[in-house]
Amino acid sequence: MGKDLEEGSRVNLDFRKIEAIAESMGGVIPAVAQDVDTGMVLMLGYVNELALKTAFEKEVAVFWSTSRNELWIKGASSGDLLELVEARVNCEQNSILYLVRPKGQGACHTRNENGKSRASCYYRSLDFKKGELKHAPYRAFGTDAVEKEG
CATH of the domain at 39: 3.10.20.810
Among 12, 49, 33, which residue's Cα sits nearest to residue 126?
A: 12
pLDDT at 142: 60
Helix (H), strand (E), coil (C) string for the chain: CCHHHHHCCECCCCCCHHHHHHHHCCCCEEEEEEECCCCCEEEEEEECHHHHHHHHHHCECEEEECCCCEEEECCCCCCCCEEEEEEEECCCCCCEEEEEEECCCCCCCCECCCCCECCCCCCEEEECCCCEEEECCCECCCCCCECCCC
pLDDT tens readout for residues 27-60 = 899 999 999 999 999 999 999 999 999 999 999 9
Among 136, 134, 139, which residue's Cα sits nearest to residue 11?
A: 134
Instruction: Indicate the pairing of strand 96-102 with strand 29-35.
Output: parallel
pLDDT at 111: 85
Task: Give me the percent of the chain exceeding a pLDDT of 70.
Answer: 89
pLDDT at 150: 40
Q: How far apart are the C-alpha atoms of 64 and 102, rounded to whole Å?
A: 19
* pLDDT interval class at 70 (50, 70, 90): very high
pLDDT at 149: 46
Q: Does 71 fall in a domain?
A: yes
Q: Does 21 fall in a domain?
A: no
Q: Does 9 fall in a domain?
A: no
Q: Does 148 fall in a domain?
A: no
Q: How far apart are the C-alpha atoms of 16 and 74, rounded to whole Å?
A: 24
Q: Does 95 fall in a domain?
A: yes
40: containing domain: 26-135
State the average pLDDT over residues 82-103: 97
Q: Do residues 72 and 62 lie in contact, with contact meaning Cβ atoms separated by under 8 Å?
A: yes
Q: Please tell me the pTM assigned to this model.
A: 0.84
Count: domains in the chain: 1
Look over the chain and give the mean of its residue pLDDT values, rounded to a whole number: 87
Q: Does 90 fall in a domain?
A: yes
pLDDT at 32: 98
